Amino acid sequence: MPKCHQTLKTLLLQIRDDAVTKQEELDEFIRFSGLQPSQIEVLNVFATPQFDPALLSGYDALFVGGSSDASVTQPEKYPFVEPSKQLLYDYWQRGIPVFASCFGFQLAVEAMGGKVIVNPAQMELGILPMRLTSAAFCDRLFQDIPDPFWAVVGHKERALTLPSGAILLASTEKCPYHAFRMVGKPFYAFQFHPEVDAADFFARIHRYCDRYLDDPAHLKELLGEPRDTAIANRLIQKFVERIALDPQFEDKSNADQSYG
C-alpha cells in the first residue's frame, strides 16, 4: 500500500566533518526532496563512527550523502565505512528505498559486491553531461528525463566494477558508471550529486579547492559556463514520489542488462 507523503520518515546518512557543509547538504536534501525538516533524521558518522545498523529501523527510506573527508578504500582509517556498508546492505535486503549520492554511491558499490578504486587520472570535477543507457528509458526514476542532462560531479574515486544485479543507468565520457539501480529493489546510487545545484557547487568547490586542485588558478577555467542542474536535482523529489512512497513496484527493466 502506498505510504503518506506527510508521514514519510527518512534517514540521512551523512559523511561530513565540517559544520558548513553538513548543514548545506541537509538543506539540499530537504529542498529537493519536498519533505519537511522534521521528516529527515541525520546520522553523521564522523560524530558516531560506531553504530549498530540493526538499530536503525523504522525509516521509510534512506538518503546517503557525499564526502570530501573520507574514502571507502580506507576502512582502517575510517571506522564508519564497514557499518555504513552493512546498513546499505540491510536496507537492500529488506527492500527499503535507498538514494545514495557520490560517497554513498561508492559505499553502495562496495556493500553490494562491486569494487571502488582511487583513480586521480580520471578525476571529474564540474557540471557535466550525463548520458543515459537504454535501461534508463524504462526506469521509473529516469524514464522522462532528457538525454543528456547536466549534473554536478566531483570525485577522485570511481567504481571499477558494479555489483552483480546492478542495472547501469547513466555514464559520462570519463566515467562509465555514474548511476545504477539494483534489479527488483528500490535501491538507487549516483556517482554524481543530484542534491547539489550550481550555486552550492560553486560555493563548495571554493571551500574545498585545495583538496581537488594542485593550482587554484585553474579554478575559473574548470568551472566553465554555468549550467542548469534542475533535471538532476528533481531526481530526489521523483525518488520520494515514485519510489519511497510506493516501493513495491513491478520491475520493468530488462534483467539481461544487469551486471553479473
Give the H or E element holding residue 221: helix 219-223
Domain parsing of the chain, residue ranges = 5-257
- Residue 209 phi, psi (nearest 5): -55, -45
Q: What is the pLDDT of residue 119?
A: 87
In angstroms, the first-to-last Cα distance of the chain is: 32
Of 3 and 89, the structure prediction assigns the larger pLDDT to: 89
pLDDT reported for residue 260: 61
Judge contact between 71 and 109, C-beta under 8 A. Answer: no
The model's pLDDT over 176-234, given as tens digits with 9 standing for 90+, comes to 999 999 999 999 999 999 999 999 988 887 776 655 555 555 666 666 667 899 999 99
* pLDDT number for residue 220: 62
Cell of 6: 506527510
Sequence length of the chain is 260
Query: pLDDT tens for residues 123-163?
Result: 898 899 999 999 999 999 999 999 999 999 999 999 999 99
Does the pLDDT at position 51 exceed 60? yes
What is the rounded CA–CA span in Å between residue 246 and residue 239? 10
Asked if 44 and 74 touch (Cβ cutoff 8 Å), the reply is no
The candidate with the shortest Cα–Cα distance to 151, out of 68, 238, 227, is 227
Work out the percent of the chain whose per-residue pLDDT is above 70: 88
Strand 179-182 and strand 187-190: pairing? antiparallel
CA–CA gap between residue 107 and residue 237 (Å, rounded): 22
Beta strands 61-64 and 10-14 are parallel
Q: Is the pTM value of this prediction over 0.95?
A: no
Task: Please report the pLDDT score of residue 122 as a whole number.
Answer: 81
Mean pLDDT of the chain: 90
CATH number of 5-257: 3.40.50.880
Residue 7 makes CB contacts below 8 A (sequence gap 6+) with: none
What confidence tens digit (pLDDT) does each residue in 96-128 have?
A: 999 999 999 999 999 999 999 998 888 898 899
Beta carbons within 8 Å of 147's beta carbon, 6+ residues apart: 131, 132, 136
